Structure 1
Amino acid sequence: MAAPGRQPILSSTPLQILLYLNSWYFAAFFVAEILMFVYKGVLLPYPQANLILDIVLLILFLGLETLRLFYGYKGNLCQHSLALCVSVGILVPCAVLSVYYLLLQTFVLRLEFILNAVLLSFYSLELVLGLMTVSVFSRASIY
């Protein structure tokens, strides 16, 4: 219970922990994808245009994920439902890019399949917790 004159803390600790873990996981994912693209570009008959497209999409993925995590942190810690809604909204293109790297690339390595499956499980948990937290923020009267 909050002290008199103070607002209750409504931020979601599980969501914050998940965002933190996802930031570290995505950093490792990004480095692993770059190394796998080097491997595929050197050893596999990867078409040059497809390789460039996949690398550009990976850089776009990095930008979207950074933006999503920033708004997720800010929205959860500052109890702003709009920032958290933006984070959940950016989750959709990030999930689409993850599905692209999971299924639609020219060559999908087994390691990429596993890494993207774990990333999609992070996304599904963050979606559920994000929507629950937005609901809690929206019900509270914070002014």
Structure 2
Amino acid sequence: MLPLTAVCCFVAGRKPILSSTPLQILFHLNCWYFAAFFLAEVLMFVYKGSKGNLCERCLATSVSVLILLPCVALAVYYLYLQTFVLRMEFILSSILLCFYGLEFLLGLVSIFAFSRSKVY
């Protein structure tokens, strides 16, 4: 018996063609989600790069380091956890994780420097 989500088409003596309509809908929605995700990442990157560092405030820099954690999780997903990873995705995600690692280290150094300085 075929699953309810599968569409079965028999073509003149050939094997049945099985496809999942909900899966195809999710693929389509994922395109829109990725566009929104990309835009949100760009906006968060601009926020983290400008506000935390230029204001020289521990709280803003700490928030930027905390925002970095979900970004790292998504980069790790693209690097390892997908079903099929293209070589280009692997290279881009690896470079992104290197940047995130440097950003994390420099963010911690900046937090310590900002917390030690006396503001008058």
Extract unaligned runs of 5+ from structure 2. 1-22
Deviations 1:29-50 (A, max 9, x none): xxxxxxxxxxxxxxxxxx5225
User: What are the residue-to-residue correspondences of 1:78-117 with 2, within 5 Å?
Assistant: 78-117=55-94
Give the distance between the partners of 1:91 and 1:139, measured in 2 at CA. Answer: 23
User: What are the residue-to-residue correspondences of 1:1-143 with 2, within 5 Å?
Assistant: 47-48=23-24, 49-50=26-27, 52-53=29-30, 56-57=33-34, 59-143=36-120
Distance 1:58 1:104, change over 3 A: farther
Larger % of strand: which?
A: 2
Indicate conservation of the 8 Å contact 1:102/1:112, yes or no. Answer: yes
- Counterpart AA for 1:95: V
3-state SS in 2 of match to 1:108: coil
Deviations 1:52-73 (A, max 9, x none): 3465256325414522431331
Identity of aligned residues (%): 48
Indicate conservation of the 8 Å contact 1:68/1:91, yes or no. Answer: no
Give the distance between the partners of 2:77 and 2:84, measured in 1 at CA. Answer: 11
Distance 1:142 1:83, change over 3 A: same
Q: TM-score, normalised by structure 2?
A: 0.69
User: Larger relative CO (CA 8 A, sep 6+): 1 or 2?
Assistant: 1
Which stretches of structure 1, 4 residues or longer, exceed 4 Å deviation after superposition? none
Larger % of helix: which?
A: 1
Indicate conservation of the 8 Å contact 1:75/1:81, yes or no. Answer: yes
- Counterpart AA for 1:116: S
Extract unaligned runs of 5+ from structure 1. 1-46
Q: How many residues align?
A: 98
How much is the aligned-residue C-alpha RMSD, in angstroms?
2.3
Give the distance between the partners of 1:71 and 1:133, measured in 2 at CA. Answer: 13
